[in-house]
């Protein structure tokens, strides 16, 4: 099966879920509804051989609607295929289904998205902050978080010099 | 008298039962000796290779559970990237995986060049390919020295650092800096390679394989080294793929995956080299794969040297996206204007998103760029191999002995500057 054939089968199987697709610099990206995340990912792993998740990351579009994006970079290690999936998360419902049960590597990647943007992954086995302290109340990669940080947000050790 | 089985609930009861020669004592479900404990390893343990902390649950000497924790550096690399131009971010990439800064520069440049559709001259690509392999040798040297030290030997560490010093000298000749080189530029290189540097590289790679052979002689039949690594920290191919391992760590589990072959970049399609593999999946296999990679890197460097005999440009001649040479800036008005323009606005790739990865010494190092058409990335995500590789630690550690921890961490070759970005 070629990459085009595999993608055609994917388009047919999820014609109701795929919102749009684009190709930029030779990279194919599918945008789809977040409720379909588990079904889409499971299909791609089992039917299309995308057995490796390279990355799962968040972005902040800084818009009123569908503010955040969760992006998945997938690879098929047998055929050397690469595919990008994007799903959008609205600020009013900051949740997204986890894919850590499909690709265990997504565990830390989703924790990082949660840590940086505050998106909660439902069904995640161990959703804790990744880099920031557990009681840190801000999400540093959101666009409104200032580059110099927020004064007093991480108390420094007192005393000494 | 017949023997009886007993499960004591308290220490007193245990001690009393042990005095009775007819009683077998089993300890299932209870822990009267309090042999289970939780140990904090790191974040400043000398063998955790930086600020890695692992919480270990032990049953006697055996690890029953391991939880790695990151998050002590707070360097905010990606936040900084969003607030800088693509060129300004270059020196920060040196400080990610500081074992091989040259490759990190190249990885960022390749991503920006892909986003902005910039063609890089052939000669620059050959130099980049060659120096990426020199950086791989340098990185593997540090890994070898420290990993062998983790198994209890110091000699190899001193030998590998002597060779690393020689590579630093070569980087100094080429880039003017020994450690944080920042030599790649978007569209090419900061400077061409001199005949003196080429001679230094030729001398180095002529002598280097003999050194590797001498280390192999020292280690490959060393009983202590073999017993400390063979069968230690085992992971099979499908599990390694699932948990996201890349680089030598994945190839040591029998998965033939190398971005230089599967998604070639630079000049890797034009050089002959093999991808070392092993099916053993343990710490010894990870050692063997990296040792073989030394020889393959030397092969690639030799082929690159052959291609560098004819002079040519090392930076694209495209004033809107690529910095002019300093000689143009100082002596021509156009050069000065372009320098100002690029510093003010920077490279402005058209709106869209790209991902470009390289095969670094640790695995897949990728840069994802979401461009909004301005000179700053709207979002720049670093896919750092050390971060993902460390996720396999619980799998590798559970069931091992306490003393194996340092060897297993060493065999993974993590760099916390990259993991805790």
What would the pLDDT profile of B175-225 be if each residue is shown by its tens digit?
999 999 999 999 999 999 999 999 999 999 999 999 999 999 999 999 999
pLDDT surpasses 80 at B15: no
Q: How confident is the model at residue B331 (pLDDT cuts 50, 70, 90)?
A: very high
**What is residue A159's predicted lDDT score, i.e. its pLDDT?**
60
pTM score of the predicted model? 0.92
| Residues contacting residue A91 through CB under 8 Å, at least 6 positions apart | A67, A68
Cβ contact A54–B366 (<8 Å): yes
Cβ contact A80–B263 (<8 Å): yes
Question: What's the distance, Cα to Cα, between the start and end of chain A in Å?
Answer: 66
**What is residue B161's predicted lDDT score, i.e. its pLDDT?**
95
Listed in order, strand segments (DSSP E) in B94-141 are: none
Listed in order, strand segments (DSSP E) in chain A are: 18-24, 27-32, 52-60, 68-76, 81-89, 95-97, 120-122
**What is residue B128's predicted lDDT score, i.e. its pLDDT?**
97
CA B234 to CA B283: how far, in whole Å? 7
Of all residues in chain B, the percent with pLDDT exceeding 70 is 95
Cβ contact A132–B79 (<8 Å): no
| Residues contacting residue A159 through CB under 8 Å, at least 6 positions apart | none
* Interface predicted TM-score of the whole assembly (ipTM), two decimals: 0.95
| Assigned token pair, B364 | 């897949």
Over residues B153-169, the pLDDT tens digits come to 899 999 999 999 999 99
* Nearest partner of A119 among A89, A99, A144, judged by Cα: A89
Q: How confident is the model at residue B73 (pLDDT cuts 50, 70, 90)?
A: confident
**What is residue A29's predicted lDDT score, i.e. its pLDDT?**
97
Strand-pair category, A68-76 with A52-60:
antiparallel
Distance from CA of B110 to the nearest CA of A (A): 13
Over residues B39-56, the pLDDT tens digits come to 888 888 888 888 999 999
Q: Give me the count of residues in chain A.
A: 161
Cβ contact B378–A59 (<8 Å): yes
CA B64 to CA A21: how far, in whole Å? 46
What is the phi/psi pair of residue B229, to 5°?
A: -120, -35
Element (H, E) at B305: helix B283-307
**What is residue B72's predicted lDDT score, i.e. its pLDDT?**
87
Least confident of B17-26, B163-172, B330-339: B17-26
Rounded mean pLDDT, B127-142: 97
pLDDT surpasses 90 at B20: no
**What is residue B366's predicted lDDT score, i.e. its pLDDT?**
96
pLDDT surpasses 60 at B389: yes
In B, what residues contact A, Cβ < 8 A?
A: 70-71, 74, 76, 78-80, 83, 114-115, 117, 241-244, 255, 257, 262-263, 352-355, 357, 364, 366, 368, 370, 378-379, 381, 383, 387-388, 391, 420
Over residues A87-135, the pLDDT tens digits come to 999 999 999 999 999 999 999 999 999 999 999 999 999 999 999 988 8
Bond prior to B43 in cis (omega within 30° of 0): yes
**What is residue B237's predicted lDDT score, i.e. its pLDDT?**
95
Cβ contact A54–B243 (<8 Å): no
**What is residue B292's predicted lDDT score, i.e. its pLDDT?**
97
Q: How confident is the model at residue B19 (pLDDT cuts 50, 70, 90)?
A: confident
Beta bridge pairs of residue B69: B53
């Amino acid at each position: 099966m070629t990459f085009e054939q595999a993608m055609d089968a994917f388009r047919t199987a999820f014609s109701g879920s795929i919102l749009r697709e684009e190709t930029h610099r030779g990279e194919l990206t599918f945008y789809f509804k977040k409720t379909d995340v588990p079904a889409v990912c499971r299909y791609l792993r089992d039917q299309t051989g995308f057995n490796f998740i390279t990355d799962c990351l968040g972005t902040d579009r800084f818009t009123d609607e569908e503010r955040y994006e969760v992006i998945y970079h997938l690879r098929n290690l047998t055929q050397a295929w690469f595919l990008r999936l994007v799903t959008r998360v609205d600020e009013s419902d900051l949740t997204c289904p986890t894919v850590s049960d499909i690709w265990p590597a997504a565990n830390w990647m989703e924790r990082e998205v949660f840590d940086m943007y505050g998106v909660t992954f439902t069904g995640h086995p161990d959703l804790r902050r990744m880099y920031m302290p557990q009681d840190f109340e801000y999400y540093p990669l959101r666009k409104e978080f200032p580059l110099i940080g927020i004064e007093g947000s991480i108390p420094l050790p007192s005393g000494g010099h | 008298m017949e023997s009886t089985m007993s499960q004591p609930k308290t220490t007193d009861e245990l001690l009393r039962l042990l005095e009775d020669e007819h009683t077998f004592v089993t300890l299932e479900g209870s822990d009267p000796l309090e042999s289970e404990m939780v140990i904090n390893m790191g974040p400043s343990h000398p063998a955790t290779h930086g600020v890695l902390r692992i919480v270990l649950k032990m049953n006697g000497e055996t690890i029953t559970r391991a939880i790695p924790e990151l998050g002590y550096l707070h360097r905010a690399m990606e936040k900084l990237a969003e607030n800088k131009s693509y060129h300004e971010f270059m020196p920060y990439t040196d400080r990610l995986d500081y074992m091989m800064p040259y490759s990190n520069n190249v990885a960022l440049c390749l991503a920006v060049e892909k986003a902005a559709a910039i063609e890089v001259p052939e000669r620059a690509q050959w130099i980049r390919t060659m120096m990426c392999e020199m950086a791989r040798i340098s990185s593997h040297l540090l890994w070898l020295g420290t990993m062998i030290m983790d198994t209890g030997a110091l000699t190899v560490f001193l030998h590998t650092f002597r060779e690393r010093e020689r590579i630093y000298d070569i980087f100094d000749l080429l880039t003017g800096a020994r450690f944080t080189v920042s030599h790649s530029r978007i569209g090419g290189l900061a400077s061409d390679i001199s005949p003196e540097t080429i001679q230094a590289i030729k001398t180095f790679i002529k002598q280097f394989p003999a050194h590797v052979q001498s280390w192999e002689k020292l280690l490959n039949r060393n009983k202590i080294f073999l017993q400390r690594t063979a069968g230690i920290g085992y992971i099979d191919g499908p599990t390694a793929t699932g948990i996201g391992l890349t680089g030598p760590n994945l190839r040591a589990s029998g998965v033939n995956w190398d971005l230089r072959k599967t998604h070639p970049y630079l000049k890797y399609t034009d050089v002959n080299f093999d991808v070392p593999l092993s099916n053993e999946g343990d710490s010894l296999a990870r050692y063997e794969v990296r040792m073989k990679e030394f020889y393959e890197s030397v092969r690639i460097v030799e082929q690159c040297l052959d291609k560098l005999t004819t002079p040519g440009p090392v930076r694209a001649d495209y004033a809107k996206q690529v910095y002019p040479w300093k000689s143009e800036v100082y002596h021509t008005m156009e050069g000065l204007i372009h320098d100002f323009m690029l510093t003010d606005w920077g490279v402005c790739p058209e709106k869209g998103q790209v991902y470009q990865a390289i095969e670094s010494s640790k695995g897949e190092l990728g840069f994802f760029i979401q461009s909004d058409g301005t000179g700053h990335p709207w979002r720049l995500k670093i896919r750092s191999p050390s971060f993902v590789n460390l996720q396999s630690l619980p799998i590798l550690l559970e069931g091992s002995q306490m003393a194996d921890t340092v060897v297993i961490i060493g065999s993974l070759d993590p760099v916390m500057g990259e993991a805790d970005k």
